[in-house]
Amino acid sequence: MAIYIEQGQSTKALDVLEDIEKKGLIPSSVSYSTALLAYQRMQDGNGALQFFIEFREKYHRGDLSKESVEDWEHEFIQLENFTKRVCYQVMRRWLVKDDNLSTNVLTLLAQMDIAGLPLGRAEHERLLWACTREEHYTVVKELYNRIRERHTEIGISVCNHVIWLMGKAKKWWAALEIYEDMLDRGPKPNNMSYELIVSHFNVLLTAARKRGIWRWGIRLLDKMEEKGLKPRSKEWNAVLVACSKAAETSAAVKIFKRMVEQGQKPTVLSYGALLSALEKGKLYDEARQVWEHMLKVGVKPNLYAYTIMASVFSGHGKLNMVDTIIHEMVSSGIEPTVVTYNAIISGFARNGSTHAAYEWFQRMKDQNISPNNVTYEMMIEGLANGGKPRLAYDLYLTAQNQGLDLSPKSYDIVVQSSLASGVAIEGFLGARPPDKKEEPQGRKSSTQLS
């Protein structure tokens, strides 16, 4: 039997054992151990378990001791332990294979329990460490629960590994449950536990930031504080940005205040998000106060902050202040971009200062910054609303000639303003652009228009 196993022919080794029994001979304990080894080499944990169950039945019936001088009581214990080890080793190999054999592992664990051969804490923990892929999360959860339920202690490194893998599998709330277990039942979380769970919150907060899901972001912050996790600037900023994207000005102000009260120093990103929220809420005076405070405490504005303030001043109709902010921006080594000019043009267009909007449109081109489709769409709408349908029409044709894809809204604005002035120009514009599906979002600020 051993020779067959060495030759990689484990099935033939098992056939030899079967022949021994057919001839009425009683296999030795070595024969049974070799058979289990054959199942291990075949990575057949279920076969090994079933083999031991059948052997156990023979032992309890007394079939093994009739004509044998072996100490079967001792050998039985040895074979029982060896069966556990074989099943453990087979499951570990399943976990490191490229294929997802999580179901096989869970099934064998359950079958071992039914057979009265449960693994110990050490084997459970070693199997847990072998789980490194996101599809292993079901196995990790089962192993973790087994250790918690059946043993009085669990290693902190094991808990941290579970938190890490749950995050990798995008099971962030499950990871938080592990952290809560550590707080309630031990072991006490260490720095690694803290960093892992905060990183998971960061993933969720980043999702909230990108999608503008501000209520969810606030709930996450509340949950962090509830669990003794102190949000840092990164977490506060994520929620501030989410509030800004959703145009939730009052929520942004409250979060900013909470951040300061909690001892976190706002960054330029914090101020930028707050300024953006105030700009969207048309709270121009408040935005100016925040800007002045930011400068007073020594936070250096970046391109985004300058662009927001340019939008604030243009939206407030402060032509001189727009000139001033752009001059300060350039003096600090930051050059205005197409987004900056779009912010200014949008601000003036929104408050009806068509002449100022067109002036900055010309200045934009003088600075060799090419207007994009957003620029033309804002200018067309502003000119049409300002009683200049011919100029709006000319800009539409210019954008077309430059290969820019303008929205159906711009087309409709040009047609309607021309008709209102008594000039039919629809045929000269070409076909109307197709409507595009829009995602539900909070109002975009001009600093998001690029």
Q: Spell out the alpha helix ranges (H) of 23-151.
A: 29-41, 45-61, 72-96, 102-114, 121-130, 137-150
- Label residue 443 by pLDDT band (50, 70, 90): very low
Q: What is the pLDDT of residues 4-36, one digit of tens each?
A: 888 889 999 999 999 988 887 888 999 999 999
Q: What is the pLDDT of residues 346-376, one digit of tens each?
A: 999 988 899 999 999 999 999 999 999 999 9
- Assigned token pair, 186: 């031990």
pLDDT value, residue 245: 94
pLDDT value, residue 98: 93
Q: How far is CA 318 from the centre of its chain?
A: 42
Q: How many CB atoms lie within 10 A of CB 23?
A: 7
pLDDT value, residue 22: 87
pLDDT value, residue 68: 65
Q: Which residues lie below 8 Å from residue 18, measured CB to CB, with a gap of 6+?
A: none
227 DSSP 8-state letter = T
- Helix-helix angle 29-41:72-96, to 10 degrees: 10
Q: Single out the residue of 244, 222, 344 nearest to residue 290, CA to CA.
A: 244
Q: What is the pLDDT of residues 207-256, one digit of tens each?
A: 999 888 999 999 999 999 998 899 999 999 999 999 999 999 999 999 99
Domain boundaries, the chain: 1-119, 337-450
pLDDT value, residue 140: 98
Which of these CATH numbers, 1.10.540.10, 2.130.10.10, 3.40.120.10, 1.25.40.10, describes 337-450?
1.25.40.10
- Label residue 418 by pLDDT band (50, 70, 90): confident
Q: What is the pLDDT of the chain when averaged over all its residues?
A: 92
CA distance 212 to 199: 19
Segment 90-93 long-range contacts (CB within 8 Å, at least 24 positions apart): 90/39, 90/40, 90/43, 90/44, 90/45, 90/48, 91/45, 91/127, 92/126, 92/127, 92/130, 93/43
- Label residue 442 by pLDDT band (50, 70, 90): very low
- Confidence check: pLDDT of 63 > 90: no
pLDDT value, residue 307: 97
Q: Which residues lie below 8 Å from residue 421, measured CB to CB, with a gap of 6+?
A: 389, 390
CA distance 305 to 315: 15
- Label residue 89 by pLDDT band (50, 70, 90): very high
Q: Single out the residue of 212, 291, 290, 300 nearest to residue 257, CA to CA.
A: 290
